[in-house]
Chains A and B, each alone.
Chain A
Amino acid sequence: MATATTSPAPARPLLGRLLGSAALLFLLAFPAIASDYEVGLLGKFLVFGIFALSLDLIWGFSGVVNFGHAIFFGAGAYAMGILLKALPFAGATYIAALGGVLFPALLALVMGYFLFYGRVSGVFFGVVTLALTGAAHSIIIVNGNLTGGMNGLYGYPPPTLGIPGLWEISWYEANVSYYTAVIGSVGCLALSRWLVKSDFGRALGAIRENEDRAAYLGYDVPQIKLIIFTIACAMAGLSGVLYVPIGFISPDLIGVTMSASVLVWVAVGGRGTLIGAFIGALLVNYLQTLLSDAFVVLWLLLVGLFFILVVLFWPGGIVGLARHEWLRARLRALGLVP
């Protein structure tokens, strides 16, 4: 990492709060100004944003490069779908959603315990997670009678929210799935900020920069990594749960392609910034939908190239650009920034 020679950007709470409030208002008002299709689309992007956010927690803040993050996203979605199928009674949705969060958390606990306490880290950890995500994809396909195999999971009762028996509302409804995505996004973002600003978050930063040194300060490094890994993967599972009413449960959610995509979203948006994960996910996916199929391939090619450039020159991604000194100088001249 290049040694910083200047002070970190001083906190700009006012600008940040203004932008945040504006964004929130926009999100809340969106269904009023957009079509059902667009609402569904934005909801999906927000869900991807939560997924990307969870990766930023372990990659951007803890320095753990996970090439198989989609395992937890897909596991959450599949767990929910399978539970919905298995529990056809009122109120099952809540249990299924809980299962969709706990199952990936459990997987993370087992996997993390096995790998972190075994001192498997860095490149080895990346290779192992890459192999496991491919294996997870195969497992889904092979167990067709449980998961629907290549075709995806169908035929589960529609998830419903509200009070079972008294007032039920279908989660499939565009506004409902959209607002749960918004609530999920805000909640996860708030949780992540709190985590990152706490003493725990500071410890993560130390571990990311120099694990050895952190251990010399007394930190139980594997334990801390395990904790953040489990929390982040539970969050990924949650995003999988929120995806179910909006999208379609298929093996694409759990394999190498999805794992690669989320890495790209976080890198492009700016790792280690939290909001960058959302920006990356929203931007890349939005631009992707704008392009017709013929151009999607070219688009992904360009995204791949941008990803390489980001790794080579620009770890800060898009958010990093915004914080870059020259841009800040311009904004300062305009009186927008102290």
Chain B
Amino acid sequence: MTDAMLDIRNLNKKFGGLAIFSDLNLQVGKGELRCIIGPNGAGKTTLFNLITGRLRSDSGEIRFEDRDICRLPVNEIARLGIGRKFQAPSVFEEMTVWNNLMVAGTGHRRAHRLFSTRTDAGLAARAERVLESVRLTARRDDLAGSLSHGQKQWLEIGIVMLNDPRLVLLDEPTAGMTVSETAETADLIQEVFRDRTAIIIEHDISFVRRLDSRVTVLNRGGVMKEGSFDEIAADAAVRKVYLGEEA
């Protein structure tokens, strides 16, 4: 299926003697919003690490827009248009909110272009828009370290969005958030990712339900089941392995 945005075929990864993935197959179509759930240790974050180049797979293919990205370094995969938001907010705490966005915006440039003195009006405009959509316009000159946990998460979403990635990987975007923040984030994500391809790892079931997307369940090195939220929620085996914990 080459019109899939992301096409993972027969992916294998072992840590020592432990097989994290055995012949994993996963496809995400263009413009799709996909949730990935699974018990702890199923390898969800490892999957993101493999896709983004942080880890090398043992064998198999990871195709992004029909191009094998298995052997590329992290920064080149990022430049191809894959953005990643981490589980723990990893904004640059010692820089201002504005500078966080600006430094994100110049990441795609070749090094010698970083020395140009011409101000990039296009980048500034984009940063303004992103700032608004993550509701942080008022905090633009504050150090990112002074933001609340939820605001840091939003800033990070903003950073990821700034460069218009064609595939976005969100790792537990609501981790540590309050109930109201979670609901707001669900809305934010649906709004911001309306025309984009995104894969979201989540633990919060109400969040997954609210997003109303296709869901993939990972377990024991492979895909256990895939389908709509209702299909997943109804599946007895899935309930036992995962949703059963939530009761």
A residues engaging B (CB < 8 A)? Answer: 1, 3-8, 198-200, 202-203, 205-206, 209-210, 212-221, 223-224, 227
Question: Which residues 92-127 of B sit at the A interface, judged by CB distance below 8 A?
Answer: 92-96, 99, 102-104, 106-109, 111, 114-117
**Is the pair A198, B75 in contact by a Cβ cutoff of 8 Å?**
no
25 A–B contact pairs at CB < 8 A? A3-B93, A3-B145, A4-B143, A6-B143, A6-B146, A7-B143, A198-B114, A198-B117, A200-B114, A202-B95, A205-B99, A205-B103, A206-B92, A209-B92, A212-B74, A213-B90, A216-B74, A216-B75, A216-B78, A217-B107, A218-B75, A218-B163, A219-B75, A224-B111, A224-B114
Minimum distance in angstroms from B89 CB to a CB of chain A = 10
Q: Which residue of B lies closest to A200 (CB)?
A: B114
For A8, the chain B residues whose CB sits under 8 A away are 96, 143
Identify the interface centre among B94, B141, B145: most chain A CB within 10 Å of its CB. B94
On chain B, the residues within 8 Å of A218 by CB distance are 75, 78-79, 107-108, 163
Minimum CB–CB distance for A211 against chain B, Å = 10
**Of B94, B103, B116, which is within 8 A of A203 by CB?**
B103
Q: A3-B93, A205-B92, A209-B95 are in contact. Are A215 and B74 (CB under 8 A)?
A: yes
Chain B residue at minimum C-beta to C-beta distance from A224: B111
Q: State in angstroms the CA–CA spacing of A56 and B109 once bound together.
A: 25
**B residues engaging A (CB < 8 A)?**
52, 73-75, 78-79, 84, 86, 90, 92-96, 99, 102-104, 106-109, 111, 114-117, 141-143, 145-146, 159, 163
A229 to B159, CA, bound (A): 28
A213 touches B146 (CB 8 A): no
Shortest distance from the beta carbon of A203 to any chain B beta carbon, whole Å: 6
Chain A: CB-nearest residue to B143:
A4
B111 with A215: CB separation less than 8 A: no
Query: What A residues does B115 contact at CB under 8 A?
Result: 198-200
A323 to chain B, nearest CB (A): 14
**Distance to closest chain B CB from A329 (angstroms):** 19
- The residue of chain A having its C-beta at the shortest distance from the C-beta of B146 within the complex is A5
Pair A216/B163 contact, Cβ less than 8 Å = no
Contact of A209 among B94, B109, B114, B141 (CB under 8 A): B94
A7 touches B146 (CB 8 A): yes
